[in-house]
Amino acid sequence: MKYPIRNISLKNRGLVMVGVVILAFVLGYAFRNVTSGVQAKQDNRPLSETTAEETPGVRTVYVCSMSCLPPANEPGNCPVCGMKLIPMLLGDKEEQDKAKLVLGEEAIRRAEVRIQPVERKFVSAEVRMFGQIEYDPAHMSYVSAFMPGVIDRVYVKRAGQTVRWHDRLFDLYSSDLYFTQQELVSVMKTIPSFLAFQAKTPYTARKALTQSRSTGEGAKADSPEYKEAMDKLAAIRHKLHILGLPKADIDELMKLGEPTGIAGVYATKAGVVIEQNAYEGAFVNTGTPIFTIGDPRYVWARLDAYESDFPWLHREQKVEFETDAYPGVTFTGKIVFIDPTFDPNKRTFKIGALYPDEERKLRPNMLVRAKAYAELTADGKVRTDFTGDDEAPLVIPASAPLITGERAIVYVAVPGENITFEGREVVLGCKAKDYYLVREGLEEGELVVVNGNFKLDSAMQILAKPSMMNSHRADAESDPRP
């Protein structure tokens, strides 16, 4: 009989414990609603509702968050989109038109608003360019035929070979050269100093002079015929030199004593053969380019720059470029050439950045990625070593302005018990990396919103105040009604 009584007491005890747990849960939930209900309600309110309570006014109106209709005097739902109308307080017409928003600390925290002062400092605009490596044209040499003829022998047979100054490249046979040489030899025979050629002996001035005195042949040294022959000889030597024969080759011809019609063509500069168009037996005309020689110590980056970057580039400006052949290595050159014309199809222009490649790492046609930095002045011009002490420009972070069409809106923070945010239309200059230059609308030291400005602008739109997408002045100018 004792066991049933014990079971009944255990059941009652379990029911009591369950009831205590339920009661504790109900009391805790009720206590939470009492202590934190107001705070929870405040945190969940839209930014526009918080603004409406904090802004002093004389009457309450109700606006649609989608701006479907003008502010209404009665609460309810929007007849267009069906969304609940939001209450707001309005003052007079002048106060309503002002693009101002007053927020407390809690509203600023929820909107994640961050401000930064307007300052004057020099900023750099980054210009990105792409191109390839080429030999510097100022250090290139072209070897061409100095008269019509046939290539008799080639000494440098392939492009890519390294040549030194005055290395013999090829021999050229020319009938014009043959006749000129023959004329030179004929004049030499009339001069006593060169009578040794008639005896087919090597040229020796002293021996020839002795021969002429002993035989009495030829013109005397003090006779008019001798002077005329010497003048003619000098004229022919000069003609051969103009044709391209070096002085050493002319002297060798006079020692030989008979015309050959062959002249050697030499390298005019040390470097690497870029183009080789010499083939034995090929006929060439005067001025035909046969060899192109480049100096590998002087290369330049031939870059394409966009039309919008034209104001930021100038001569002697430093350029940094990289190539995939040397990862992590930065080469620094300077601009020596800016193409005065634009490509009509790509809307780009050419830049030449010279680089003294003493280690000879770079090769023609290597692709490069280049950057140039232009430090800007207050008037938006490029600062150089020749401009002197220029005034630093007024700049704001690139995230501060809200740009739409031709307008740019910046929200300026006015400190106080409750910070006032004023939407202000400004005139911007060019963009330099993370900054915009300011031409009009702001003063140095003013605080501008750099984060959360879109949320502030949304609240201004909901409150039917001037904003990024809605300017009262622009609406008034475009309204055709009187």
* pLDDT tens string 397-443: 999 999 987 889 999 998 776 688 888 999 998 888 888 989 888 99
Write out pLDDT tens, residues 150-161.
999 999 999 989
> Across-strand partners of 264?
171
Question: What per-residue confidence (pLDDT) applies to 1?
Answer: 43
pLDDT, greater one: 147 or 368: 368
Contact 339, 291 (CB under 8 A): no
Mean pLDDT confidence for 29-58: 46
Side-chain half-sphere CA neighbours of 405 within 13 A: 8
Query: Across the chain, what does the average pLDDT equal?
Result: 78
CA–CA distance, 337 with 341 (Å, rounded to integer): 12
CA–CA distance, 441 with 425 (Å, rounded to integer): 7
Task: Using pLDDT thresholds of 50, 70 and 90, give the confidence band for residue 202.
Answer: very low
Question: What per-residue confidence (pLDDT) applies to 366?
Answer: 94
Task: Using pLDDT thresholds of 50, 70 and 90, give the confidence band for residue 130.
Answer: very high
pLDDT, greater one: 425 or 6: 425
Question: What per-residue confidence (pLDDT) applies to 475?
Answer: 46
Q: Residue 138: which of 299, 265, 291, 271 has the closest Cα?
A: 299
Most confident of 62-66, 304-308, 372-376: 304-308
Question: What per-residue confidence (pLDDT) applies to 207?
Answer: 45
The pTM assigned to this predicted structure is 0.57
Question: What per-residue confidence (pLDDT) applies to 334?
Answer: 94
Given the DSSP bridges, would you call strands 331-338 and 149-154 parallel, antiparallel or unpaired?
unpaired
pLDDT, greater one: 85 or 451: 451
Question: What per-residue confidence (pLDDT) applies to 26?
Answer: 57
pLDDT surpasses 60 at 118: yes
CA–CA distance, 300 with 306 (Å, rounded to integer): 19
Question: What per-residue confidence (pLDDT) applies to 380?
Answer: 66
The rounded percent of the chain whose pLDDT value lies above 90 is: 30
Write out pLDDT tens, residues 204-238.
444 444 444 444 455 555 677 778 888 888 888 88
Task: Using pLDDT thresholds of 50, 70 and 90, give the confidence band for residue 364.
Answer: very high
Pull the structure tokens for residue 473: 């002045």
Question: What per-residue confidence (pLDDT) applies to 20?
Answer: 59
pLDDT surpasses 60 at 9: no
pLDDT surpasses 60 at 8: no
Lowest mean pLDDT: which of 111-125, 183-197, 291-305, 399-413?
A: 183-197
Lowest mean pLDDT: which of 12-21, 37-46, 98-107, 308-317?
A: 37-46
Pull the structure tokens for residue 113: 């608003």
Question: What per-residue confidence (pLDDT) applies to 230?
Answer: 84
Pick the CATH number of 97-117+395-478 from 2.60.40.1120, 3.20.20.70, 3.90.550.10, 2.40.420.20: 2.40.420.20
Question: What per-residue confidence (pLDDT) applies to 329?
Answer: 94
Report the CATH fold assignment for 126-136+295-375: Elongation Factor Tu (Ef-tu); domain 3 (2.40.30)
SS (H, E, C) the chain: CHHHHHHHHHHHHHHHHHHHHHHHHHHHHHHHHHHHHHHHHHHCCCHHHHHHHHCCCCEEEEECCCCCCCCECCCCECCCCCCECEEEEECCHHHHHCCEEEECHHHHHHHCCEEEECEECCCEEEEEEEEEEEECHHHEEEEECCCCEEEEEECCCCCCCEECCCCEEEEEECHHHHHHHHHHHHHHHCCHHHHHHCCCCCCCHHHHHHHHHHHCCCCCCCCHHHHHHHHHHHHHHHHHHHHCCCHHHHHHHHHHCCCCCEEEEECCCCEEEEEECCCCCCEECCCCEEEEEECCCEEEEEEEEEHHHHHHCCCCCEEEEEECCCCCCCEEEEEEEECCCCCCCCCEEEEEEEEECCCCCCCCCCEEEEEEEEEECCCCCECCCCCCCCCCCEEEECCCCEEECCEEEEEEEECCCCEEEEEEECEEEEEECCEEEEEECCCCCCEEEEECHHHHHHHHHHCCCCCCCCCHHHHHHHCCCC
Lowest mean pLDDT: which of 52-61, 241-250, 290-299, 439-448?
A: 52-61
Task: Please give the distance of CA 434 from its chain centroid, rounded to a whole number.
Answer: 16
